[in-house]
Amino acid sequence: MKSAAPVITRRQFGRTALIAGAAAGALGLSAAGVTGWRSLRRRQLYATATRADITGANSLAAHAAARGLLYGAAVVPSWLDVDGIAKGDTSDAYTQLVMAQTGIMVDEYTTYWKWLRPSPDRFDFSSLDRLMRCAQLTGKQARGHVLVWHEAMPRWFAKVATKQNARQLLVEHIQAVAGHLRGRIETWDVVNEAIEPGDGRADGLRRSPWLELIGPDYIELAFRTAAEADPQAKLAYNEFGIETDRPRDARKRDFTLELLRRLKTAGTPIHAVGVQSHLWPGLGGEAGRGLQEFIREAAKMGLEVQISELDVSCAGMKGKTPELDEAVARIYRDYLNLVLAEPNVRQVISWGITDAHTWLKTAWLFLPNPLDRRHLWTKIAEGLRQRPLPFDVDFRPKPAFYALRAAMDGAHRGERLTRASNEWQEPLTKNPLF
């Protein structure tokens, strides 16, 4: 059976239109015929995204809210039909999908320094403002991502930043960005990915530009500045590679706990820890007791745990599309059954909502050398596609959607972990496709 045509992103639309026009001429089709085909395609996608059995009380957001959870997704604000929302009439399927399924949204990438601060004295809030207008019109919450990170930095930073002015640059940035959105953000990812055991420091901190220019206290400085700029928001530390029981993840998890304890001991205003949850089951390792203990240790410190960037990569997985979809769904189910048994896990954010747009399809293009075979973790078998999210490229719900919804239905009920006896119950099923 022939697969449906993939969704065309807004950035590709202009180029695709030119190609389609040329093809239409070659085939003897009129411009009106091509336009009619596109119109039909948009209507089909819209009908799929607004199905009654997956929206309203049947949506991910509604099922999450029924269990005291907040579900959301990373979105691309420029793709949202905000004007249509304001008029109460949008036929854009991506917009409808996001509006129907999420209770909280996060700008996927344009809040990084590289795009948000094109020069030392200029900020571009256009994407953030678009997201916030959408949130205001729809009553949804927004997450801020991210104030301090070592990646996605503008070119000017390496030329301008020194040990003498780095502290000022960091403080000014947080004051400007968090202050611009003061009172409108549910959680800020204040510091992102500050731990790297491989860098060899006794405290596990990454040898980032911030560490080299300011010192270890840049993390506490960032949180205190964020608290002053936006006192109503929750403030989170966000980290990846701490999910599985592989030795590297376990070591990084220990360093992360040490960092959180230091911050709490110092009286730093921190309220949550984000466990990114970019899962790579095909490369080995499973989430288990180590992550459970991490979440409970965070609870002892009074910290909420937020699943902040959830997706499941197909890298290293075997099987055709139906088998991949079922395997991905099992990972969603088992992982969320594990973490949502803990009462301090209250937020789940998937890093995207549809396979039509996922960083996993394009991450390798942004590596220093895309042909470097050391980075094959970004790729999957030839002829297959990354299918890491709840909806496919045609906005149809996949098995992952139903697994995610069912896992949230069982959240915090304790069926999987017996806390009273502290008895460990293995929550994961082995996947024969790995």
Catalytic residue set: 193, 309
Closest CA to 24 of 9, 12, 4, 38: 38
| Nearby residues of 171 by Cβ (< 8 Å), 6 or more positions away | 221, 225
Closest CA to 47 of 99, 91, 98, 101: 91
Could you give the CA distance from residue 227 to residue 170 in angstroms, rounded to a whole number? 14
Closest CA to 385 of 408, 369, 361, 403: 361
CA–centroid distance for 314 within its chain? 17
Asked if 283 and 243 count as a contact pair (C-beta separation under 8 A), the reply is no
b or e along 249-273 (b: 16 or more beta carbons within 10 Å of the residue's beta carbon)? bbbbbbbbbebbeebeeeebbbbbb
Closest CA to 250 of 312, 216, 297: 297
Could you give the CA distance from residue 181 to residue 147 in angstroms, rounded to a whole number? 12
Could you give the CA distance from residue 390 to residue 402 in angstroms, rounded to a whole number? 8
Asked if 278 and 242 count as a contact pair (C-beta separation under 8 A), the reply is no
Could you give the CA distance from residue 160 to residue 157 in angstroms, rounded to a whole number? 5
* Gyration radius from the chain CA atoms: 22
- What dihedral angle (degrees, nearest 10) is formed by the CA atoms of 27, 30, 31, 34? -60
Sign for the CA dihedral angle at 398, 399, 402, 403 comes to: negative
Closest CA to 40 of 81, 93, 83: 93
Could you give the CA distance from residue 229 to residue 215 in angstroms, rounded to a whole number? 22
